[in-house]
Amino acid sequence: MIQTIRNAWKVPELRNKLLFTIFALLIFRVGAAVPVPFIDTDTLGSYIQSQSASIFSLLNVMSGDAFAQATVFALSIQPYINSSIIIQLLTIAIPALERLQKEGGEEGKKKLQAITRYATVAIALIQAFGYYTFLRAGSNGQSLLTVTGVWPAFVIIAAFVAGSAFLMWLGEQITEFGIGNGISIILFAGIVGRVPNMVYNIYLGVIGWMNDANPETAMVLHPAFILLIVLGMLLLVAFIVFMDNSERRIPVQYAKRVVGRKMYGGQSSHLPIKVNMSGVLPIIFAQSIASIPATIGMFVPSAQVKGSGWNTFLDIFDTRGVPYCIVYFLLIVLFSYFYNTIQFNPIEVANNLKKNGGFIPGFRPGKPTSDFLNKVVSRVTMFGALYLAVVALLPTIVGNIMVLAKSSAGSSLAIGGTSVIIVVGVALETVKALEAQLMMRHYKGFLE
């Protein structure tokens, strides 16, 4: 990875892309520290910190602490992600949008992108109003606003919507002029910004667990137990890297053909099918959908009152709860299949092989080949989806065990595990994008 970045830095065009990406992320981190007026950020931060197992804590991690500080980027990139999910699902349900996606060409993509932007602003407006309602209700009836009224409400909601719209634009600029997927890069920057704080919280939780004054709940262990947790996280990172690079290679044979006095073909190659074809997108989208109950709860003032029906409902969907884990697991599997269906078309691949004189040994060109590819992709996708879901939930399971053992590090470990998957996945995707750019320029220079 370091060698790839060094090689990219030597290419002027790629160096400019890297500098643009770094500058964009700098703007994001500065905006994430600019508070919205009329909000008691100290009380809000204490309340979010006390809700360490709730979905609010996860939203705070995804926004890089902007949610707990009520800054202009508090909504982060979540409205754009939700909008993308809705539009992509609607392209399957609405024939007009499906035609626009498949037959509209470049113009169709621009129209779909415009629709996604408008939907993003609409969703950001709804979430901003819900966030304002949550702040006005406060915790246990104590408002988190310093000033109430129509004008403060307008300023707060407008600031949140403007921040979300700006992040959407910034992500598109990174995708076009920088390196990698802009939305993923922004999520990456937000999570990385909170890594030191999460590591410190886990450290304090483990130390408190081992030095508990109550003999019944004390855990008498050597401080090397912290190293065991670090080793577990490193093994998790290594496993993610291994699975991300894993692929099923289908052998492909090309028939010999004579053109003039030269013979072409007769070569053996392979068709790579990645185990985790969709990357971290299923996890990002699953988190967005799983946060819907918390978003709905923001509109209900009684949801922040302990013992109320809405508060009990939200507690069911905390990040350690069994219902949340089940929904999270199913959503990851669902989105893995959904994105693999979009990215890999067995019929199109089979037709391309047939046109180029290629065939898979043991299968006739055409429909038999596409049926075989569809079968292989379904099996590989199931394995990749289960891998993502299990790895995403494994830290949550370990965190629950630590919570049962009276450790306050459990919730931080559960949320930190999901963050590790996103950070590692985005880092690998960005490095691959850099390698592709380097390879393209290498071949271009060779041809010139």
Summarised one tens digit per residue, pLDDT across range 201-216 is 666 666 665 665 455 5
Which band of pLDDT confidence, cut at 50, 70 and 90, is reported for residue 420?
confident
Q: How far apart are the first and last CA of the chain?
A: 28
Summarised one tens digit per residue, pLDDT across range 274-292 is 888 888 888 888 888 877 7
Summarised one tens digit per residue, pLDDT across range 14-27 is 899 999 999 999 99
Which band of pLDDT confidence, cut at 50, 70 and 90, is reported for residue 257?
low
Whether residue 180 has pLDDT greater than 70: yes
pLDDT of residue 208: 63
pLDDT of residue 197: 72
pLDDT of residue 448: 44
Whether residue 218 has pLDDT greater than 60: no
pLDDT mean across residues, the chain: 81
Average pLDDT rounded to a whole number, residues 233-243:
85
